[in-house]
Structure 1
Amino acid sequence: MSFGIFNIPIPTNEPVKEYRPGSPERVAVKQAIQGFRDNETDIPMYIGGREVRTERKLRIAPPHDHQHTLGYFYEGEKEHVEQAISAALAAKEKWANLSWANRASIFLKAADLIAGPYRARINAATMLGQSKNAYQAEIDSACELIDFLRFNVHYADEIYRQQPNSSVGVWNRLEYRPLEGFVFALTPFNFTAIAGNLPTSAAMMGNTVVWKPAYTQALSAKVIMEVLQEAGLPDGVINLIYVDGPVAGDVIFNHADFAGIHFTGSTGVFQKIWGTIGANIHKYKSYPRIVGETGGKDFVLVHESAEVDEVAAGLIRGAFEYQGQKCSAASRAYVPKTLWPAIEAKMKQFLGEIKMGPTEDFSNFINAVIDERAFKKITTYIDEAKKSDQVQLIAGGEYDGSKGYYIEPTVLQVFDPGYRTMCEEIFGPVLSVYVYEPDEFDTIVQLVNTTSPYALTGSIFSKNREVIEQVTKELQNAAGNFYINDKPTGAVVGQQPFGGARASGTNDKAGSALNLYRWISARTIKETLVPPKVYEYPFLEADKIF
């Protein structure tokens, strides 16, 4: 056998393609879209490398064209969860013992497959299945997922190289073992990259995984599995199941080999999971790792020194890209009275130019929200706001769910900073603005800090460095990702590790080594090169008498 210490390719962020008219990427993704529209996709579960189908077929449709059938996925039951766990445990030893170079190569190949032959396919699946425009799909399902795979390999290599000092006559070593048992990855609809990262980051560190994607992300989840299979991921390392949440949870959280959960979703669900794990803690071989990112009520704080056009652009992009269905989306803004008329006018100008419609029409900035349930929830907030004497409708407010789940980008000016749209996560294209007197700025800073239980993202717009320093310090716990003169969205792997605390999650920073540490358990090995042969120490010697 030959040996070597190998250097991982240095990762760089995947360049974002522009999809200009006539560009090769635009032609390719349109062809892929047409292929998905012309042929209904069969989406099985993947358990132990087998494609598993059941009698229960569930239909998927584009949120912006819910009469059209994209395909069907197969919903499983308790037995399929048990099969997935068994497959993960059966694959565990062989996968954990595979050399790091060969494990890493699988994920590096997966990144290159997405960057190349699968790019149009995974973007098209995201555009249709999750109603993302071409640019939002590109930065998510292509670039961010590629970055997660490449940078996580780099971070894992850095972790493995971290070793303790050794004293004379001793060689100290650290082994970074995978967790004992299986990891459960529970992923959301809104980012294909998150759906890919949550299972692969744990698997990269030698774990085997049961993966349950959101049903509304089934089409792009299938493409992810196609990529991983072509990249050479062994059977049973990642097992994809479509099972109702409580059914899956009842099996997984009662299993002795449950080793951890990698979660992105709602705060309520995560808190319930945490409570269940706590109640069952005596059942597990080890204390499970609980890693979760759960959403936010993300703020934009505007100082009177800010530039009007920059604020308006930041609010429009931050609040309404991907219909506000980002856990980092700007959903509450605090604007000084001196700047509000100009900012309001500029935002209205921008919103008057924005088009809304299907993702297949590349001129549309706004598309549909994910499903009927989300549509009803968001529009209920809008209807209530329209009736309230505490709110003035500034822009938008109209909606139509007849063909697609379309909701206009909506701006509300609230007169009570504690009004519910300033406090509660809506997860849709609704921005609430509170206009304050400039001399109340210090009070507003504290209001930002205490209004919401979340602490995911936030930003300050100001040209005054003293103000920037003040706000950065006073709001240090209000956002895990804090932005200066920028929208509070768009974290890039390797540049802005992502995650928040308080009700926003465990702040384990996806896109950094911090996250990968959660999926390993270190073992210290001390080897004494020449062991002593007697038990005595020098201090035991008798004093000499002169």
Structure 2
Amino acid sequence: MPKGVFNVPVPVNEPVKNYAPGSPEKAALKKALEEARSRQVEIPMYIGSEEVYTDNKVKVSPPHDHQHVLGYFHEGDASHVRQAIDAALAARKGWAALSWEHRASIFLKAADLIAGPYRAEINAATMLGQSKNAYQAEIDAACEMIDFLRFNVKFMTDIYQQQPESSPGVWNRMEYRPLEGFVFAITPFNFTAIAGNLPAAPAMMGNVVLWKPAFTQVYAAQVLMKVFKEAGVPDGVINMILVDGPAAGEVVFSHPDFTGIHFTGSTRVFQTIWKTIGENIGTYKTFPRIVGETGGKDFVLAHESADARAVATGLVRGAFEYQGQKCSAASRAYIPAAMWEEVKQYILADLAEIKMGGVEDFSNFVNAVIDEKSFDKITSYLDQVGKDSGKAEIIAGGGYDKSTGYFIEPTIILAKDPRYVTLCEEIFGPVLSIYVYEKESFEEILDVVNTTSLYALTGAIFAQDRYAIERATERLVDSAGNFYINDKPTGAVVGQQPFGGARASGTNDKAGSVLNLLRWVSPRALKETLVSPKDYKYPFLQEP
């Protein structure tokens, strides 16, 4: 068949639509929300060529309106995991052998489908299923997912173009094989783009995947599966299983063809997975790739030279967008005493304007947290502050109500101790803890920032003094995989700020970059000698 050296379309970050009053995108999204609320859907598992329905139906409701029923997903069991593994392995040979440009075409088509006919549907599903406002859904479910697909195609070709040098009479080549076996992708509730990218990235490199989305993200996950199917992902390449984590893990991590895990979730779960893989290492045909992004206790450090208004805006946006349910959310802040009152007044003024409620009202900046379990965990910290008189106090927010939806007010905690519990532990909600330090203690506070948390995902320095910026950048070199200067510690853009952290925050394999895709290939070096030697003797053997 004809061959060629193909150039893929140059990726450009998808423009973010603003959903202004009277805009066509706002009208389309409003309509999609109304249609989604007017019906109930049945969400199956996708295993090979089958849509699998079970007798175990689980209700799907908006977190901000938990009495409303959007539909049901069909929960599976261990037998469905085994079925999915068989389907994946049956699809592996054909998918691995498919020319790379056809894999590229499939995922480029998926990007265009999301950018066009599926944009309103996937945004509406994310808004309703995950209680995410229109702007947060747009930058996630639409734009970031599109960017992952388009940029990963470019990164894939960059990898394939990395070829060794050849010496006279020899042609050296490198081929980038998919891994031998199947990849297990476990995805979180908070980002639809992460849910789509974790199975899509290994699949793009020729791997077959079992995908287990979080139950609280299934409503949008099924839209992603529709897109993958329409784009032409063959049956068995991406299999979506809706199975409890331990039940799925028991099957997957004891299977000899398990070859890699692509994970985003809690540090504790990832540590358990790593330990299980280690205990079973003799079972596998090959050493599995372990790629994970976990938690964060992300910081904002302000220097006395910082702009107080910029600090306040960075904290309000960084801490309270999507109810603080981002791995990168600003969760702890350190403010110089001399500027604290000014920063506080700006924050309090902003919080007085912010509205909280359902996503259907586009004027609501804050919506609900994901479920009752999360609600109860977050509010337990707020209750504890009330008992810890003298150690910390709530200076804004603190209210909560789960009668209609899982609503928690944006909350500011002022801590007297830099090691107070809410400055140390990941809360994953709309809670920002602040410690006020004296300006002469800037060097000491750098040590506090660096040593307070087990995590090292994101962080930010606000300062106008360039010496202070350089000092913080150097001293906090191991404290954050994504470090921001005069900006909030959230909002990494694919192709611009590859995302990931180290320490207890994961393996730092940088989603949104070529580094992540390299984990899903097994290179093979080929040496071809053009004219083979026919005499074993080397010149050194000859005596004069």
SS, match of residue 83 in structure 2: helix
1:136 corresponds in structure 2 to: 136
AA aligned to 1:210 is L
2:438 corresponds in structure 1 to: 437
Range that drifts further, 386-395 or 431-440: 386-395
AA aligned to 1:30 is K
Q: 2: CA distance between counterparts of 1:140 and 1:2?
A: 39
2:274 matches 1:242: no
Q: 2: CA distance between counterparts of 1:477 and 1:376?
A: 32
Q: Displacement of 1:386 after TM fit?
A: 1.9
1:76 corresponds in structure 2 to: 76
Q: 2: CA distance between counterparts of 1:466 and 1:310?
A: 19
Q: 1: CA distance between counterparts of 2:187 and 2:447?
A: 33
Q: Displacement of 1:49 after TM fit?
A: 2.2
2:316 corresponds in structure 1 to: 316
Map Cα deviations across residues 135-170 of structure 1 (whole Å, 9 max, x no partner): 000000000000000000000011001100000000
Q: Displacement of 1:95 after TM fit?
A: 0.3
Map Cα deviations across residues 178-199 of structure 1 (whole Å, 9 max, x no partner): 0000000000000000000000
1:483 corresponds in structure 2 to: 484
2:518 corresponds in structure 1 to: 517
AA aligned to 1:181 is G
1:368 corresponds in structure 2 to: 368
2:57 corresponds in structure 1 to: 57
Q: 2: CA distance between counterparts of 1:239 and 1:329?
A: 31
2:113 corresponds in structure 1 to: 113
1:14 corresponds in structure 2 to: 14
2:303 matches 1:303: yes
Q: 1: CA distance between counterparts of 2:339 and 2:93?
A: 62
1:449 corresponds in structure 2 to: 450
1:472 corresponds in structure 2 to: 473
Map Cα deviations across residues 427-453 of structure 1 (whole Å, 9 max, x no partner): 000000000000000000011000000
Instruction: Give the 5 Å matches for 1:138-537.
Output: 138-388=138-388, 389-537=390-538
SS, match of residue 334 in structure 1: strand
Q: 1: CA distance between counterparts of 2:49 and 2:294?
A: 30
SS, match of residue 209 in structure 1: strand
Q: Displacement of 1:392 after TM fit?
A: 1.6
Q: 1: CA distance between counterparts of 2:434 and 2:49?
A: 50
SS, match of residue 216 in structure 1: helix
AA aligned to 2:425 is E
Structure 2 gaps, min length 5: none
AA aligned to 1:102 is H
Q: 1: CA distance between counterparts of 2:229 and 2:366?
A: 34
Q: 2: CA distance between counterparts of 1:134 and 1:231?
A: 25
For the aligned residue pairs, the C-alpha RMSD in angstroms reads 0.4
SS, match of residue 426 in structure 2: coil
Q: 1: CA distance between counterparts of 2:58 and 2:4?
A: 49
Q: Displacement of 1:22 after TM fit?
A: 1.0
Aligned length: 543
Map Cα deviations across residues 187-220 of structure 1 (whole Å, 9 max, x no partner): 0000000000000000000000000000000110
Map Cα deviations across residues 280-299 of structure 1 (whole Å, 9 max, x no partner): 00000000000000010000
Q: 2: CA distance between counterparts of 1:370 and 1:392?
A: 25
Q: 1: CA distance between counterparts of 2:386 and 2:115?
A: 45
2:104 matches 1:104: yes
Q: 2: CA distance between counterparts of 1:498 and 1:284?
A: 29
Q: 2: CA distance between counterparts of 1:49 and 1:347?
A: 53
Map Cα deviations across residues 327-370 of structure 1 (whole Å, 9 max, x no partner): 00000000000000000011000000000000000000000000
AA aligned to 1:398 is G
Map Cα deviations across residues 239-274 of structure 1 (whole Å, 9 max, x no partner): 000001110000000000000000000000000000
Q: 2: CA distance between counterparts of 1:42 and 1:292?
A: 31
AA aligned to 1:399 is Y
TM-score, normalised relative to structure 2: 1.00
Q: 1: CA distance between counterparts of 2:288 and 2:233?
A: 25
AA aligned to 2:499 is F
Q: 2: CA distance between counterparts of 1:85 and 1:100?
A: 23
Q: 1: CA distance between counterparts of 2:436 and 2:467?
A: 22
AA aligned to 2:437 is Y
Q: 2: CA distance between counterparts of 1:22 and 1:45?
A: 38
Map Cα deviations across residues 84-140 of structure 1 (whole Å, 9 max, x no partner): 000000000000111111110000000000000000000000000000000000000
SS, match of residue 411 in structure 1: strand
SS, match of residue 338 in structure 1: helix
Identity %: 68
SS, match of residue 339 in structure 1: helix
Q: 1: CA distance between counterparts of 2:146 and 2:108?
A: 9
SS, match of residue 447 in structure 1: helix
2:93 corresponds in structure 1 to: 93
Q: 2: CA distance between counterparts of 1:174 and 1:254?
A: 32
SS, match of residue 509 in structure 2: coil
Which aligned segments of 4 or more residues in structure 1 are displaced greater than 2 angstroms? none
Q: 1: CA distance between counterparts of 2:486 and 2:120?
A: 33
AA aligned to 1:111 is A
Q: Displacement of 1:234 after TM fit?
A: 0.4
AA aligned to 1:437 is E
Q: 1: CA distance between counterparts of 2:49 and 2:340?
A: 57
Q: 2: CA distance between counterparts of 1:50 and 1:287?
A: 31
Map Cα deviations across residues 387-432 of structure 1 (whole Å, 9 max, x no partner): 2120021100000000000000000000011111000000000000
SS, match of residue 418 in structure 1: coil
Q: 2: CA distance between counterparts of 1:81 and 1:446?
A: 46
AA aligned to 2:378 is I
SS, match of residue 291 in structure 1: strand
AA aligned to 1:59 is K
Q: 2: CA distance between counterparts of 1:358 and 1:41?
A: 21
Q: 1: CA distance between counterparts of 2:385 and 2:129?
A: 30
Q: 1: CA distance between counterparts of 2:393 and 2:65?
A: 31
AA aligned to 2:505 is S
TM-score, normalised relative to structure 1: 0.99
AA aligned to 2:529 is T
Q: 1: CA distance between counterparts of 2:158 and 2:22?
A: 42
